[in-house]
């Protein structure tokens, strides 16, 4: 292993960088013809077979830089300076026609949003086929990069390119027959033979596995070399287009690929679409794959699976990856080299671990400090060293014994909610018999992936949705009985902060009117006292008073979310339900909002019900955790308990999926 790695580095050194970006500058032209500098003086390089990550927040220029490599800058964007070299060829100033020749075959793309990146009117297989056809790919033979061939060369001597011929689906039955006979001939029987055959059936995917792999597998199973090569040569003679498409999809981790290829994008889940996009990106075996936040839109556990798979695939193909991400932990875990971008500039770059352990630029330091994934790992490692982990937390955890003694302000018992699905007889149980309680002055987090029913629970606690069964009580009273004045009183004490910072404020309302609205609804104060109250609230969320006259479209996501918190605080509530309140925000902004929530809790003795998909965030804010999956409560314990001794496999999977788990972190 050690040997292999140094050999790889030597080879990379010898060949020089695959992608070399120097002093890149990119401008966008606004409507009134002004130039906006999106990227300035950015330099970085990617070596063959290497994963390099560009890390930054939204607007840092990370995606713009990556897209300029492909020649696919959006809108009015254009490169105004510097150079981009791929395999020594200058890309800046290249015509689109010449870019066409490089795209697909020399460099591929795995885009960010799997929902919008597949054309809804074409079958998945057709969209893979387009990539193969556009580059005139030989679908009968594998095109392995020189690096991968060299690495594989250790194990198997490749005589000529015919050894890279794919298995065809029509020949597969005969091949398996021949393999069976050969194994019998080699004197293998019983379980060993069966295990070998099972292995072959699973591994020999038409359009994906090649002749030398078949021969190699046979030899490894005990068939003599000449015989193995004879079988491979006579039964592996190349695949058809359909085989190759299915092979590519199956390589990307799509089960039952041949059938799936005939389906349309809307029949796929997000994770499956992303796999299809990976298959497309790698279809023509590019030397460089640009992966632009390839998993940000997916559930955490799916995210991990897909990245693991992509890593394995690119390693075996020798593909270099330029990995764009906002998650420092993820970047450090996946890439050897990190480039940190801030406001269009590279502020720091270097080997992943070094940058992470000894960040030097103040921005990187800030990023390292704020990343929730890293924070939760920092706590774990501090605990392992027997240090006081609480010192690392901004949130003062309510002690377990204290939790037990404090009374419940919200109590949820046997909550069930069913929905009618269109054109289906059975009811769909979105929430199934969930019970927990939120203790006064503490934070309870509900964690789960999409479809776990966590938001449905939140809506029932807020009495925006009525439960099918079970009850929610507030201060011991069943909220389903609240009507009229009682309901208004309940609304006054239990307030929401929603996920989408762009949707939760009325775009027609000024910030003043938005924050004032609850006061007006509940008839509190006169005009003058309301102005005073609103400026007090803005102060509380650390926004200048001048934003009162502004409108939501002028504020950033984080600022809007702070406005939403100010609005929720206007009536001095006891309970705030945060439904994915920080999920859409950049790391630093997220950290800022979480800090604000923590301060407010300490100051006002608030109770939070915190809904999130991100277990890493939970560590920073919650006292208790409820894990939900498919509408059911999987695990319920204190935060420490869940992180230190998770009882259920699903919780462990979620914990494993927090990026950066395998990193060795220092403490500074």
Partner 1 sequence: MTDMTTLPGQERYVAPLDETPLQDVDNVDESAPASSLWTDAWRTLRRNPLFIVSGLLIMFIVIVALFPTLFTKQDPNYCVLENSLGKPSPGHPFGFDFQGCDVYTRVVYGTRTSLSVGLAATILVVLIGTLIGALAGFFGGWLDSLLSRVTDIFLALPILLGAIVVLQMFKTNGSIWKIVLVMALFGWTSTARIARGAVLETKNLEFNTASTALGSSPSRNLFRHILPNSLAPIIVIGTTSLATYIVLEATLSFLGVGLPTTTVSWGGDISEAQTNLMTNPMVLFYPSAALAITVLSFIMMGDAMKDALDPKSRTA
Partner 2 sequence: MGKYLLRRVLQVIPVVLGTTLLVYALVFALPGDPVKAMFGDKPVNQAVAAQIRAEYHLDKPFIVQYFIFLKNALTLDFGQTFAGQPVIDEIARAFPVTIRLALMAFVFEAIFGVIFGVISGLKKGKWYDTVILLVSLLLISVPTFVTGFLCQYLFGIKWSILPVTAGSNPGFIDLLMPAMVLGSVSMAYIIRLTRAEISSNIAEDYVRTARAKGMSNGQVMLRHVLRNSLIPVVTYLGQDIAALMGGAMISETIFNIHGVGWLTYQSILKGEGNLVVSIVTLLMLIFVVCNLIVDLLYAALDPRIRYA
Binding site for partner 2 (CB under 8 A): 70, 72, 74, 96-97, 100-105, 108-109, 111, 113, 116-122, 130-131, 134-135, 264, 266, 277, 280-281, 283-284
CA–CA separation, 246 vs 242, rounded Å? 6
Query: Which residue lies nearer to partner 2 by CB, 23 or 119?
Result: 119
Two tokens, residue 204: 């020999």
Query: Which residue lies nearer to partner 1 by CB, 233 or 545?
Result: 545
H-state helical runs in 318-468? 328-334, 352-357, 362-370, 372-384, 400-405, 454-461
Q: Under rule CB under 8 A, which residues in 45-104 are in contact with partner 1? A: 45, 47, 50
Residue 72 contacts residue 56 (beta carbons within 8 Å) = no
Residue 118 interacting partner from partner 1, partner 2, none (CB closer than 5 to 8 Å by kind): partner 2
Query: Which residue lies nearer to partner 1 by CB, 89 or 360?
Result: 360
Query: Which residue lies nearer to partner 1 by CB, 359 or 646?
Result: 359
Query: Which residue lies nearer to partner 1 by CB, 153 or 351?
Result: 351
Q: How far is the CB of 22 from partner 2 (least distance, A)?
A: 23
User: Measured in whole angstroms, how far is the alpha carbon of residue 600 from the centre of its chain?
Assistant: 30
Interaction pattern, residues 526-565, with partner 1; x per rule: CB under 8 A = -----------------xx-xx-xxx-xxxx-xx----x-
Decide if residue 36 touches partner 1 (CB under 8 A).
no
Decide if residue 123 touches partner 1 (CB under 8 A).
no
Query: Which residue lies nearer to partner 2 by CB, 131 or 231?
Result: 131
Query: Which residue lies nearer to partner 1 by CB, 264 or 551?
Result: 551
Query: Which residue lies nearer to partner 2 by CB, 122 or 509?
Result: 122
Decide if residue 20 touches partner 1 (CB under 8 A).
yes
Query: Which residue lies nearer to partner 2 by CB, 133 or 522?
Result: 133
Question: Strand runs (DSSP E) across 205-304, as ranges?
Answer: 288-292
The 8-class DSSP code of residue 321 comes to E
Q: How far is the CB of 17 from partner 1 (least distance, A)?
A: 6
The sign one gets for the Cα dihedral 301, 302, 304, 305 is positive
Query: Which residue lies nearer to partner 2 by CB, 119 or 234?
Result: 119
Residue 266 interacting partner from partner 1, partner 2, none (CB closer than 5 to 8 Å by kind): partner 2
Q: Does residue 330 come out as left (phi exceeding 0), alpha (psi in the -120 to 50 range) or beta?
A: alpha
Residue 493 interacting partner from partner 2, partner 1, none (CB closer than 5 to 8 Å by kind): none
Query: Which residue lies nearer to partner 2 by CB, 125 or 467?
Result: 125
SS3 label, residue 296: coil
Residue 102 interacting partner from partner 1, partner 2, none (CB closer than 5 to 8 Å by kind): partner 2
Q: How far is the CB of 644 from partner 1 (least distance, A)?
A: 30
Decide if residue 354 touches partner 1 (CB under 8 A).
yes
Q: How far is the CB of 319 from partner 2 (least distance, A)?
A: 15
Decide if residue 215 touches partner 1 (CB under 8 A).
no
Two tokens, residue 584: 């859409």
Residue 72 interacting partner from partner 1, partner 2, none (CB closer than 5 to 8 Å by kind): partner 2
What is the DSSP pairing of strand 624-629 with strand 607-612? unpaired
SS3 label, residue 397: coil
Q: Under rule CB under 8 A, which residues in 583-602 are in contact with partner 1? A: 588-589, 591-592
Out of 337, 395, 417, 636, which residue is the one contacting partner 1 (CB under 8 A)?
A: 337
Query: Which residue lies nearer to partner 1 by CB, 20 or 327?
Result: 20
Residue 416 interacting partner from partner 1, partner 2, none (CB closer than 5 to 8 Å by kind): none
CA–CA separation, 66 vs 562, rounded Å? 32
CA–CA separation, 350 vs 344, rounded Å? 18
Q: Under rule CB under 8 A, which residues in 189-208 are in contact with partner 1? A: none
Q: How far is the CB of 280 from partner 2 (least distance, A)?
A: 6
Residue 353 interacting partner from partner 2, partner 1, none (CB closer than 5 to 8 Å by kind): partner 1
CA–CA separation, 333 vs 341, rounded Å? 18
Out of 498, 512, 610, 643, which residue is the one contacting partner 1 (CB under 8 A)?
A: 498
Q: Cα dist. 5→350, 622, 660, 663 in Å?
A: 18, 42, 22, 19
How many binding residues for partner 1 (CB under 8 A)?
73
Out of 346, 368, 606, 657, which residue is the one contacting partner 1 (CB under 8 A)?
A: 346
Q: Which residue has the tokens 């929530």?
A: 597
Two tokens, residue 608: 């939070």
Q: How many helices (H) and strands (E) does the chain have?
A: 27, 20
Q: Which residues are CB-contacts of 17 (< 8 A; sequence separation ≥ 6)?
A: 45, 46, 47, 85
Out of 55, 73, 307, 505, which residue is the one contacting partner 1 (CB under 8 A)?
A: 505
Q: How far is the CB of 115 from partner 2 (least distance, A)?
A: 9
Q: What are phi and psi of 511, to 5 degrees?
A: -55, -40
The partner residues of 21 in beta bridges, in order of sequence, read: 44, 84
Q: Under rule CB under 8 A, which residues in 471-490 are in contact with partner 1? A: 487-488
CA–CA separation, 222 vs 83, rounded Å? 53
SS3 label, residue 153: coil
Q: Cα dist. 3→6, 10, 151, 153, 482 in Å?
A: 5, 11, 12, 15, 71
The 8-class DSSP code of residue 210 comes to B
The 8-class DSSP code of residue 162 comes to G
Decide if residue 345 touches partner 1 (CB under 8 A).
yes
Residue 460 contacts residue 470 (beta carbons within 8 Å) = no
Q: How far is the CB of 538 from partner 1 (least distance, A)?
A: 10
Decide if residue 464 touches partner 1 (CB under 8 A).
yes
Residue 452 interacting partner from partner 1, partner 2, none (CB closer than 5 to 8 Å by kind): none
Q: Under rule CB under 8 A, which residues in 443-462 are in contact with partner 1? A: 462
Long-range contacts of 188-191 (CB under 8 A, 24+ apart): 188/221, 188/222
Residue 506 interacting partner from partner 2, partner 1, none (CB closer than 5 to 8 Å by kind): partner 1
Residue 656 interacting partner from partner 1, partner 2, none (CB closer than 5 to 8 Å by kind): none
How many Å is the Cα radius of gyration of the chain? Answer: 28
**Nearest alpha-carbon partner for 637 in 653, 651, 649, 626:** 626
DSSP run (H or E) holding 404: helix 400-405
Q: Which residue has the tokens 């230190």?
A: 644
Q: What are phi and psi of 346, to 5 degrees?
A: -80, 120
Residue 347 interacting partner from partner 2, partner 1, none (CB closer than 5 to 8 Å by kind): partner 1
């Amino acid at each position: 292993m050690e040997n292999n790695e140094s050999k790889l580095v030597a080879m990379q050194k010898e060949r020089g960088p695959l992608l070399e970006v120097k002093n890149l500058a990119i401008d966008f032209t606004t409507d009134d013809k002004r130039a906006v500098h999106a990227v300035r003086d950015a330099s970085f390089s990617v070596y063959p077979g290497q994963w390099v990550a560009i890390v930054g927040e939204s607007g840092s220029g990370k995606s713009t830089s990556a897209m300029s490599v492909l020649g696919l800058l959006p809108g009015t964007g254009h490169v105004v300076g510097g150079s981009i070299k791929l395999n020594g060829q200058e890309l800046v100033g290249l015509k689109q026609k010449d870019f066409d020749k490089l795209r697909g075959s020399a460099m591929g793309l795995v885009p960010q949003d799997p929902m919008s990146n597949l054309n809804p009117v074409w079958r998945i297989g057709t969209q893979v086929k387009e990539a193969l056809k556009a580059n005139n790919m030989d679908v009968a033979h594998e095109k392995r990069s020189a690096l991968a061939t060299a690495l594989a060369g250790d194990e198997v001597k490749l005589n000529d390119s015919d050894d890279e011929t794919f298995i065809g689906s029509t020949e597969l039955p005969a091949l398996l027959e021949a393999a069976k006979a050969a194994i019998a001939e080699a004197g293998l029987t019983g379980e060993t033979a069966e295990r070998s055959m099972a292995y072959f059936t699973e591994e020999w995917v038409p359009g994906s596995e090649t002749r030398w792999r078949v021969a190699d597998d046979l030899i490894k199973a005990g068939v003599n070399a000449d015989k193995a090569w004879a079988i491979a040569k006579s039964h592996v003679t190349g695949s058809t287009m359909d085989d190759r498409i299915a092979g590519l999809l199956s390589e990307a981790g799509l089960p039952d690929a041949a059938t799936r290829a005939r389906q349309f994008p809307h029949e796929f889940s997000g994770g499956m679409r992303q796999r299809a996009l990976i298959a497309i990106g790698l279809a023509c075996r590019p030397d460089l794959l640009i992966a632009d936040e390839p998993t940000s839109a997916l559930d955490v556990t799916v995210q991990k699976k897909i990245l693991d798979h992509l890593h394995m695939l690119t390693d075996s193909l020798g593909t270099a990856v330029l990995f764009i991400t906002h998650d420092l932990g993820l970047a450090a875990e996946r890439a050897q080299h990190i480039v940190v971008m801030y406001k269009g500039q590279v502020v720091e770059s270097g080997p992943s671990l070094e940058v992470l352990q000894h960040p030097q630029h103040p921005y990187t330091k800030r990023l390292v400090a704020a990343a929730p994934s890293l924070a939760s790992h920092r706590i774990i490692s501090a605990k392992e060293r027997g240090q006081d982990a609480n010192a690392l937390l901004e949130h003062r955890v309510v002690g377990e014994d204290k939790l037990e003694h404090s009374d419940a302000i919200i109590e949820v018992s046997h909550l069930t909610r069913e929905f009618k699905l269109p054109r289906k007889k059975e009811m769909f149980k979105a929430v199934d018999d969930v019970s927990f309680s939120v203790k006064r002055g503490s934070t309870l987090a509900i964690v789960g992936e999409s479809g776990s029913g966590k938001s449905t629970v939140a809506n029932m606690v807020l009495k925006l949705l009525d439960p099918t069964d079970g009850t929610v009580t507030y201060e011991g009273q069943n909220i389903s009985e609240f009507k009229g004045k009682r309901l208004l009183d309940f609304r006054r004490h239990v307030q929401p902060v929603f996920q989408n910072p762009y949707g939760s404020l009325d775009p027609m309302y000024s910030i003043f009117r938005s924050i004032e609205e609850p006061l007006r609804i509940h008839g509190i104060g006169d005009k003058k006292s309301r102005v005073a109250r609103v400026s007090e609230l803005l102060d509380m969320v650390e926004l200048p008073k001048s934003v009162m006259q502004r409108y939501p479209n002028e504020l950033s996501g984080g600022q809007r979310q702070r406005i939403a918190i100010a609005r929720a605080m206007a009536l001095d509530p006891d309970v705030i339900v945060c439904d994915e309140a920080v999920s859409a925000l950049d790391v630093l902004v997220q950290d800022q909002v979480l800090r604000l929530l923590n301060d407010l809790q300490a100051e006002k003795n608030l109770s939070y019900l915190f809904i999130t998909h991100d277990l890493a965030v939970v560590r920073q804010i919650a006292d208790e955790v409820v894990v939900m999956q498919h509408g059911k409560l999987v695990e319920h314990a204190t935060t420490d308990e869940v992180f230190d001794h998770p009882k259920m496999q699903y919780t462990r999977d979620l914990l494993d999926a927090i990026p950066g788990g395998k990193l060795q972190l220092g403490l500074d």
